[in-house]
Amino acid sequence: MSVLVAYASAKGSTGEIAERIAEKLRESCPSTTVKCSPINAVDVTSLPSYSAVVVGSAIHMGSWLSPARHFIHNNATVLKEKPVWAFSVGMPPKEEDRRKEEQMMEEKIRKTLPNLRRHELFEGRFNEKDLPWFGRVIISCCIPKEKTKFGDSRDWVEINAWAEGIGKDISALSGGGT
């Protein structure tokens, strides 16, 4: 079997999460080839050769980054024929916001990939210095502190567990599960 982990990242946090997912898949499915790649570098003509796909993106302005959106839309026919898992990376300020954003993103993805195995929203890393100067001005003067969240909020235990769950599913699909 072979698995593609494809991702769209703005500042690197999503890419680091994708790399961790790929690493955990390699550990839990040693006979499976796992390739991790930015979406823009994926050779879409090779998509049919993958047994499964994990696709993820950072969330900006309530949507996946455009390369990720285009990837699933342009390759929906191939992706619908194989197991696909998806993850999103965002920085919702509160748990209630996280649940709403996770549900909203899953609904958007399922419009294109109705047989999506599972979607998960992970918190990412976002530093105020990553904003353009204008964005920093708007945040400091116009947005209440409780509506913004900065720092590294990635939960590696949660990410590892999710990836290991995918690994079990892949092993079962390939006949190696119990």
Q: Is 11 within a domain?
A: yes
Q: Is 113 within a domain?
A: yes
How many Å apart are CA 37 and CA 9, to the nearest integer? Answer: 11
Helix (H, G, I), strand (E, B) or coil at 63: strand
Structure token digits, residue 131: 């904003």
How many Å apart are CA 112 and CA 133, to the nearest integer? Answer: 36
**Segments forming the whole domain that contains residue 106:** 2-173
Tens digit of pLDDT per residue, the chain (178 long)? 899 999 999 889 999 999 999 999 999 999 899 999 999 999 999 999 999 999 999 998 889 999 999 999 999 999 999 999 999 998 777 788 889 999 999 999 999 999 999 999 998 876 666 655 555 555 556 665 555 656 677 899 999 999 999 999 999 987 754 4
Amino acid at 156: W
pLDDT at 142: 63
Q: What is the CATH number of the domain that holds 48?
A: 3.40.50.360
User: Residues 6 or more apart from 146 whose CB is under 8 A from it?
Assistant: 93, 94
Strand ranges inside the chain, DSSP E: 2-8, 33-38, 52-60, 63-64, 84-90, 118-123, 125-126, 151-152
Q: Is 178 within a domain?
A: no
Angstrom distances, CA of residue 113 to CA of 11, 95, 116, 172: 26, 26, 6, 21
Q: Which element (helix H / strand E) includes 24?
A: helix 13-28
pLDDT at 125: 78
**Residue the block writes with tokens 């509506």:** 147
Q: Is 100 within a domain?
A: yes
Q: Is 84 within a domain?
A: yes
Outline where 42-132 has alpha helix (H).
Answer: 66-74, 76-79, 95-112
Q: Total domain count for the chain?
A: 1
Helix axes 95-112, 66-74, angle to 10 degrees: 30
